[in-house]
Structure 1
Amino acid sequence: MLSLNRLLQQAELELTLLVPGDGEGADRELLWLHNTELADPAPYVRPGELVLTNGVWLDETDPRSFVAAVHRADAAGIVFGLRRESPTTPADLIEACRSVGMPLAEISVDVPFTAVTRAAATLLAESRLSDLSGTVRRTGALASAITRGAGAAGILQVVRREHDLPLVVVDRTGRQLASASADLSPTQLRDATRALTRRPPPLEADLDGTSAAIFLVTAVADVEAGLFCLRPYRDLTPDEVAALEQAGTYLSLEVAKQQAVHAIEQRFAAEVLDMVQAGSSREADVAERLRAFGVDPTSPVAALAVAGPSAAPGQVSHDAEAVTDLLLDQGLAALVVGGSRETIAFVSWPRAERASLRAVAEELQRRLFRSHGSGRVLVAIGGVSPNSTGLGAVLLQARETCRAMQADTGGPVVQEFGDVHSHRLLVSMLDRETLARFSAGVLGDLREQDRSGDLESTLRAFLDLDGHYGATAERLHIHVNTLRNRLTKLAELTRRDVRTTDGRVDLFLALQADALI
């Protein structure tokens, strides 16, 4: 970088600094040099230029006016050339520069301005050559990191060899892909994810009180991740910015490669669900796929279903990789498939204790919930199959348990198939259209006529209190005879008598179906 200080270090120029200036002062980067003897050079001086002058303008204007014009043009400083007629720099010029914080240097009588120009050109060429050499050297190191499979962490280490910066790579789903001298908390990861999903993404983000510069990592023309430097953008030097931008380009290649590998793995894993549901005709294929993911098909295999805020309708869950990582952390090999409704995990479970499987599910739920930070995260335990041939049953149990848990918004977040009430499983196995038709057929006329909602609230209270007349009347603050009248009206509108077993079952299931849809 070319600056007044770099020129001052060239002994042959015989420059002396008289006023260091404010702010960056003599360290400010110079755009170039500008030689002038005009009384008002402001229209011709560009921001960042160093003004060279012999003071011929002193016959037309005073130093304060000249310095004001140079300052107005946002010049980087002034070099006053001494002459035999004026062997010292005017005191008024020194004072004027000091008052506005303008760097000022003087140059010996024996050194012409052309020498300064030649020195500046040499320094600028050396600086650009150094920058180019650094870029080429870094390009080789980054390419080497990619080709030898060092991944995102290897790319960060290349940058760290040149610049001591705390770095983290986070993808748009909130996963920390790599780090160097920095680790983000769950709160900081959520802040990073919010920054990456903004349109357009900012240059800087507040990560739970820590300012971080963001360098975007794109793949297929979309932002897939961000390289976060835990320093404010304004504190980074041009060399550091250049290195981080270059690293971001290579991270794009790494993220694109990881996405392609993950897509192949997920497609490979997703086919297992179809094979499991196909039954005995695909048992050999299922066993082969499980072995590819490190799951022994001849030993017990457990089925888990995970549903979280990211498993929204129409979107594939981003929990698949997180579930895989968390199970591996607990020493468990698994084949994990992300879906739009839930994430399915077939877990190698060579243990007899079911209690410890529940402990694994609870730990999985806790850690996923911490990473999401909001919304319900559910883990359903379908059971353990003695080997891969019985996976169809435990898969169905895991899915239906999960869907029953989703319907029960106030229920547990970890549950086994055997803990779910049978009516919830039966209702959850039907499609939404069938449930809607059934619920509307039973409750439609009731809701059309029951403008005040008294009849439906009476039905809910009566079912909740197991058909106890006295307790229901007391809860609703009505007379028992009023309750009987309401139940009679309910029977007319629904064509089901809640006082009979058949009628009570139909009405109860209609309310359950309504809650599910």
Structure 2
Amino acid sequence: MPRSPGYSHTVFTLRSLAERSSLGLTVLVPGRPGAMDAPVAWVHNTELPDPSPYVHEGELVLTNGLWLGQVSPAQFVRSVKGAGGSGIVFGLRAELSATPRDLVDACREEDVPLLEISIEVPFTAVSQAVADMLADERKQALVGMVRRGDALATAISRGAGAGGVLNVLRHDYDLPLAVVDRMGRSLGTAGTDLDADQLHAVATGLAKHPPALEVELGEAGRAALFPVGAVGDIDAALICLRPLRRLTSAEREGLEQAARFLSLEVAKQQAVQAIEMRFASELLEMVLSGGSRAGEVPGRLRAFGVDPGGPLAVCSVAFAQHETATLHGLAEAIGEFFAAEGVPVVVAGGTQDVVAVLPWRRQEDGLPPLAQRLVREVERRFPGLRPVAGLGGIASHAAELRPALLQSREACRVLTRTRTGPRVRAFSQLGTHRLLIGLLDAQTSRRFSAGLLDPLKDHDARRGGDLELTLRTFLDHDGQWSATAAALHVHVNTLRNRLAKVTELTGRDVARTEDRVDLFLALTIDAMD
């Protein structure tokens, strides 16, 4: 792939040093394959018999061989190699007009590059040449970063999005790249395509604390992740289908720079989504409040592509048995589901649920299957949680939305308090007793249930009794004494004694209908919690 001028780096290598004619270097041993083209960190002048304590990884050793006679060339070469030195430059002197054959053989044996410098050229010339090359490298790197920054800023400002950022990177580096958000959605790719499993692996890596720096992508191998965050949170990642160890420092710097610019794009998208969400939330407030603002509802619906004059359905979604009924990204997931279904929708997030208002010209019995698919998709996006959906009746037009909205939210609220059972329910399918419970706030209903059942639970815990089980079984068998006794495998007299104790502890007589209702509601609330 062609590269844009001004972005390439002049990396200091043994080959680039040898190609400087002013130094008069001769390559005697090229070393292992690729050694002449590997980056060199710096130069180190030494005459110590064992320079390993002072030579750093990637440094080039300059020596006149004054250590000869103290250690063998083989020992000296092994010391340089053991310290991670990139090679040896042997400087000739008046007393030694040729590089010792033993040193050449030792370097060849250890695959350590060996270069020879003539007596006329001092080591200071090599140091100066290296300093000049490194300065030029840093200058070009800085120029490249500035130019790339300008290109990235231009791409973002012109609305090129994540794809535009990846195109800028691909002008510099021939790397397979992608941008994936924490919901596992692909925001852009360049030189690669990620399948559903790979997208899920990236999302899983981003969900860790702290986020993973690499993820395993199956046949594609390990990929490097460069987190993208808008306001402190990690919202996405720039993915390079190469492990970190295979990326050069220049490539990593470029990817990190691009990730910072992608944060601007993510922040912009979040701002747009926040405006849309607020616009949608205001619509729900207009529907609920009625009055003068109800006249604005049709216009708001049209802005989202929803026909206010036709039949409308309302679906409320939340998570059952969860501290937070809604989570970040739930509204987006619901919006994307309906977009994939080709259904225009208004999606508004609240503290208790996320509401979707959509046109519905089909039969009402077709709505639950759609809601079931929605719940399954939400569960896929939020594994380990239990999403539920409540449906209201079909509103004939926008002016009739309020009852449908209230019904869907009430049905959803009832479902959020259950551990098992249906994930989708219409308001009309809820039992009357559940509707009554749904009219109470959670704290009030729990207090009512605990007031009746806690004495039974305490008694059973202290005595190892079965009063609560007996009461549940009695009500499940519609108050039939014989059937209840048979189900519990006890005598009818034992059953009567237990229920008498229930009356004593709760103040409710199972022989009276109104007291049975209280006990039934208390048990239902307890099961829902």
TM-score (norm 1): 0.89
Structure 1 pair 459/208, CA: closer, same or farther in 2 (3 Å)? farther
Amino acid at match of 2:114: L
Question: Which of these residues, 267, 279, 287, is aligned with residue 278 of structure 2?
Answer: 267
Corresponding residue SS for 2:239: strand
Instruction: Give the match for residue 478 of structure 1.
Output: 490
Tell me by how many angstroms 1:106 deviates.
2.9
Matches within 5 A, 1:106-505: 106-107=116-117, 113=123, 116-117=126-127, 119-182=129-192, 184=194, 188-189=198-199, 191-206=201-216, 210-308=221-319, 312-313=323-324, 316-349=327-360, 351-451=361-461, 452-505=464-517
Consecutive aligned runs of 4 or more in structure 1 exceeding 6 Å deviation: none
SS of equivalent residue, structure 2 residue 74? helix
192-201 vs 458-467, which moves further: 192-201
Report if the CA contact (8 A) 1:269-1:337 is conserved.
yes
Distance 1:494 1:341 in 2: 33
Match of 2:12 among 2, 22, 28: 2
Q: CA deviation at 1:149?
A: 0.8
Aligned residues: 516
CA–CA separation in structure 2 for the residues paired with 1:43 and 1:177: 49
1 CA distance for matches of 2:33 and 2:58? 13
Contact 2:178-2:239 at 8 Å conserved across structures: yes
> What is the identity, as a one-letter code, of the residue corresponding to 2:381?
S
Partner SS, residue 385 of structure 1 = coil
1:51 Cα offset (Å): 1.8
Shift of 1:378: 1.5
The residue aligned with 1:508 is 520
Deviates more, 1:393-402 or 1:51-60: 51-60
Does the aligned pair in 2 maintain the 1:465–1:471 contact within 8 Å? yes
Contact kept, 8 Å, 1:167 with 1:230, in 2: the verdict is yes
Deviation per residue, 1:189-220 (Å, 9 max, x gap): 55434543444434323456842212122333
1:244–1:118: structure 2 CA closer, same or farther, 3 Å change rule?
same
Contact 1:311–1:317 (CA under 8 A) maintained in structure 2:
no
Task: Indicate conservation of the 8 Å contact 1:195/1:202, yes or no.
Answer: yes
Q: Distance in 1 between matches of 2:21 and 2:393?
A: 82
SS in 2 for 1:74: coil
Alpha-carbon distance, 1:356 to partner: 3.1
Task: Render the CA deviation track for 1:9-28: whole Å, top value 9, x for unaligned.
Answer: 45665544444445863333
- Distance in 1, Cα, partners of 2:339 & 2:77: 68
The offset of 1:345, in angstroms, is 0.7
Task: State the Cα deviation string for residues 384-417 of structure 1 (Å, max 9, x = none).
Answer: 2111111111111111111222223211112222
Structure 1 residue 80, shift from structure 2 partner? 2.1
Give the distance between the partners of 1:5 and 1:421, measured in 2 at CA. Answer: 83
Deviation of 1:365 after TM superposition, in Å, equals 1.7
**TM-aligned CA deviation for residue 507 of structure 1:** 1.1
CA contact (8 A) 1:309 1:372 kept: no
Mapped contact 2:326–2:354 kept (Cα < 8 A): no
Q: 1:311 to 1:279 in 2, by over 3 A?
A: farther
Does the aligned pair in 1 maintain the 2:318–2:325 contact within 8 Å? no
- Cα deviation for residue 323 of structure 1 reads 0.6
Deviations 1:359-392 (A, max 9, x none): 3222212222222222212222223211111111
Whether contact under 8 Å (2:414, 2:434) holds in the other structure is: yes
Q: Distance in 2 between matches of 1:182 and 1:473?
A: 68
Tell me how far apart the structure 1 counterparts of residues 338 and 129 of structure 2 sit (CA, whole Å): 63
Q: CA deviation at 1:247?
A: 0.5
Question: Distance between the aligned counterparts of 1:436 and 1:358, measured in 2?
Answer: 30
Contact 1:298 1:388 in 2 (8 A): yes
Partner-residue secondary structure (3-state), 2:104: helix
Residue 431 of structure 1 aligns with an amino acid whose one-letter code is D
User: Matches of 2:321 and 2:159 in 1, distance apart?
Assistant: 30
Contact 2:228-2:238 within 8 A present in 1 as well: yes
Q: CA deviation at 1:285?
A: 2.2
User: Which stretch has the larger CA shift, 174-183 or 495-504?
Assistant: 174-183
Contact 1:316 1:339 in 2 (8 A): no
Between the aligned partners of 1:261 and 1:377, the Cα distance in structure 2 is 26
1:3 to partner: Cα distance? 1.0
**TM-score, with structure 2 as normaliser:** 0.87
Q: 1:244 to 1:427 in 2, by over 3 A?
A: same
Which residue does the alignment assign to 2:6? none
Q: Is the 2:326–2:353 Cα contact (8 Å) retained in structure 1? A: no
8 Å CA contact 2:459, 2:465 repeated in 1: no
Does the CA contact (< 8 Å) of 1:3 and 1:29 recur in 2? yes
Superposed CA deviations along residues 247-300 of structure 1, whole A, max 9, x for unmatched, are 111011111212222222222222222221112432112222222222222222
- Shift of the alpha carbon at 1:341? 2.2
> Judging changes above 3 Å, is the alpha-carbon distance between structure 1 residues 401 and 121 closer, same or farther for their aligned structure 2 residues?
same
Return the alpha-carbon distance in structure 1 between the equivalents of residues 325 and 382 of structure 2.
19
Q: Which runs of 5+ in 2 are unaligned?
A: 1-10
Which deviates more from structure 2 when the two are superposed, residues 79-88 or residues 163-172? 79-88
Cα gap change, 1:71 to 1:145, in 2 (>3 Å): same
1:476 is aligned with what amino acid? L
Q: Distance in 2 between matches of 1:185 and 1:425?
A: 44
Q: Is the 8 A contact 1:310 1:317 kept in 2?
A: no
Relative to structure 2, which stretch is displaced further, 466-475 or 10-19?
Answer: 10-19
Equivalents in 2 of 1:411, 1:43: separation in Å? 70
Query: Whole-Å Cα distance in 2 between the matches of residues 360 and 17 of structure 1?
Result: 73
- Checking the alignment, whether the CA contact within 8 Å between 2:180 and 2:237 is kept in structure 1 is yes
Partners of 2:41 and 2:364 in 1: CA distance? 72
Distance in 1, matches of 2:192 and 2:484, equals 60
323-332 vs 378-387, greater mean Cα deviation: 378-387
Determine if the alignment matches structure 1 residue 62 to structure 2 residue 72: yes
Q: What letter is aligned with 2:306?
A: V
The 1:148–1:214 alpha-carbon spacing in structure 2 relative to 1, beyond 3 Å, is same
Q: Which moved more, 1:339-348 or 1:312-321?
A: 312-321
Residues 126 and 86 of structure 1, relative CA distance in 2, 3 Å threshold: same
Identity of aligned residues (%): 50
Q: Contact conserved, 1:283 with 1:388, CA < 8 A, in 2? A: no
> What residue number does 2:5 align with?
none
RMSD, aligned α-carbons: 3.0
